Amino acid sequence: MSGQMSSRGRRYFDVLVVGAGPAGMAAAISAAKCGLRVGTVDDNFHPGGQIWRTGSRGVPVAEAVRWFEAFERSGIDVLFGTRVFDQLERGVLLAETPLGISELGYGKLIIATGARERFLPFPGWTLPNVMGAGAVQAMVKHGLPIKGKRVVVAGSGPLLMAVSTYLLKMGARIPVISEQASWRSLARFAVALSGQRVKIGQALRLKMELARIPFSTSSWPVEAHGKDRVESVSIWRRGRVENIRCDYLACGFHLVPNTELASLIGCRIERGCVQVDDFQQTSITGTFCAGEPTGVGGVELALVEGQIAGLAAGERTAEACLLFRKRKRGMKVVSALEDAFRLREELRRLASSDTLVCRCEDVSFSRLQPYTAWRAAKLQTRCGMGPCQGRVCGPATQFLFNWNTESVRPPIFPVLVESWANLADKPNPEP
């Protein structure tokens, strides 16, 4: 990485990649291979994003090792601890870094901003130690002792199994995995993936490791109990409510694409996914998108989409075309996932009238019910006006009430006032 930048510096890259998860890493490596000057930014302090989170030691998971090595060897400039929050003008993004604000100029942009967990409200979900499934995994990777602790894993999606495998390996005790999808949905998922040898292998390995854990389908959390933190959780399974003691509740309902940056700069987004062409190019020429924001499809798909985007940004379209077949196979996962882990109706009725939906502003379910649109609800209750900027309550209200969340405005991430103020070129314009 080049030397210290001034607290207001403009850096220019032929290709700027936002996000250093699998898609971003693959895109950066491919673009660098084209001989371009590549820069990558990420809020974290190591590459890997969420699914390949290394923890503080920076040691990658086995299947990621070769990607990490290639990333490190590729001569890419990586800006860690860096959050993109605004577009200054076409071709220049603004980012907040540990050293101050940075203007990032680029010729081509690759958006690889990944996805986040979807949270749905249910009584007690705001108790400390109730977290997302990926969240518990991330916390353990960063030093949370979990050995001997009881963790109930709940919600929906393949993440639950992946997290459970990891937690088991770290010595946690998992009384149950509660998956809201039905057994039939999951069986269909497995069938849809046949032909995806890697996935089947993974699935079998997971199954073996999890054999000792009760895995309930058509099951969901009904209430988390505890005084200052979660002590037990009531789970609906096998036709009735069971109360299970736990130290942590790891609960997330599949993933939601992070489309805020794409939305800010004006990329076309449909049904919550950034629209791209065969070369991963968005509706804005020169801006590409790879990985979960184009449709949640897992690591393998993210890697191939990243490679295509990187090659396309480097105008090596012939090489990019060679990857189309692999991507096509990976796309099957996207629709299979959507289908298998579709959220069931019962989840709309988990919240009781005083269950909080907006955690930043403490807005309860009953206060939101009278509204038919997001904007009115926001204005009157301030739901969605807190620092999470609707990242938690937005997907929840979309599911609960069918509201459409609006287009984004800068800052797309809370930043310090001085990150904008110090950019002002001129003193106060004369009246």
Partner 1 sequence: MSAIGCDVAIVGAGIVGAACAYECARRGLKVIVVDGEMIAAGATAAGMGHIVVMDDSEAQFAITRYSQRLWQELRPELPDDVEYDQCGTIWVADDEEEIEEVHRKQRLYAERGVPTEVLDARELRDLEPNLREGLVGGLLVPEDGVLYAPCAARFLMERAQRHGANVRVGCPVTRLEEGQVALGGSQIRADILVNAAGTSAPELTPGLPIRKRKGHLVITDRYPGFARHQLVELGYLKSAHTLTADSVAFNVQPRRTGQLLIGSSRQYGAEHSEVDHHMLLPMLRRAQQYMPGLGQMLMVRAWTGFRAATPDKLPLIGPWPPDKSVWLATGHEGLGITTSLGTGRILADCLTGVKPEIDIEPYLPSRTAREQVHA
Partner 2 sequence: MPDRVVLTINGVTMEVQRGTTVANATVLAGQPCRTSAGGAPRGPLCGMGICFECRVIINGRLHCRSCQMLCEPGMDVRTDV
* Residues binding partner 2 (CB under 8 A): 43-45, 50, 55-57, 116-117, 119, 126, 128-132, 134-139, 142-145, 228-229, 356, 359-362, 386-388, 391-392, 414
- Do residues 315 and 282 make contact, with C-beta atoms less than 8 angstroms apart? no
Q: Which does 130 bind (CB under 5 to 8 A by kind): partner 1, partner 2, none?
A: partner 2
Least Cβ distance, residue 117 to partner 2 (angstroms): 6
Interacting partner of 422 out of partner 2, partner 1, none (Cβ under 5 to 8 A depending on kind): partner 1
What is the β-pairing status of strands 215-216 and 177-179?
parallel
Tell me whether residue 329 or residue 359 sits nearer to partner 2 (CB atom).
Answer: 359
Residue with smaller CB distance to partner 1, 122 or 374: 374
- Touching partner 1, residues 346-385 (CB under 8 A): 373, 375-376, 379-381, 385
d(CA 319, CA 323): 7
Provide long-range contacts, Cβ within 8 A and 24+ apart, for 312-317: 312/279, 312/280, 312/281, 312/288, 313/15, 313/27, 313/31, 313/34, 313/36, 313/108, 313/110, 313/288, 314/15, 314/30, 314/31, 314/33, 314/34, 314/35, 314/36, 315/34, 316/34, 317/279
> What is the rounded CA–CA span in Å between residue 404 and residue 181?
24
Fill in the per-residue mask, 75 to 114: x = in contact with partner 1 (CB under 8 A), - = not in contact: -------------x--------------------------
| Piece of the chain touching partner 1 by CB under 8 A; list 63-71, 174-182, 244-252, 404-412 | 404-412
Which among partner 2, partner 1, none contacts residue 427 (Cβ within 5 to 8 A by kind)? partner 1
DSSP 79: E
**Identity of the amino acid at 182:** S
Nearer to partner 1, 168 or 385 (CB): 385
In whole angstroms, what separates CA 84 from the centre of its chain? 16
Answer whether the bond into residue 411 is a cis peptide, omega within 30°: yes
Work out how close the CB of 246 gets to partner 2 at its nearest, in angstroms, rounded to a whole number: 14
Least separation in angstroms between residue 200's CB and partner 2 is: 29
Between 161 and 360, CB nearer to partner 2: 360
Contact 379, 373 (CB under 8 A): no
The reply on whether position 386 binds partner 1 by CB under 8 A is yes
Q: Which conformational region is residue 218 in: left (phi greater than 0), alpha (psi within -120 to 50 degrees), or beta?
A: left
Residue 420 within binding range of partner 1, rule CB under 8 A: yes
- Least distance from partner 1 to the Cβ atom of residue 365, Å: 16
283 CB-contact burial (10 Å; exposed 0-12 / middle 13-18 / buried 19+): middle
- Which of 389, 403, 404, 405 is in the footprint of partner 1 by CB under 8 A? 389
* By CB under 8 A, residue 2 contacts partner 1: no
C-alpha 293/C-alpha 259 separation (Å) is: 6
- Close Cβ partners of 66 (under 8 Å, ≥ 6 residues apart): none
234 versus 283: smaller Cβ distance to partner 1: 283
The footprint of partner 1 (CB under 8 A) covers 88, 373, 375-376, 379-381, 385-387, 389, 409-411, 414-431
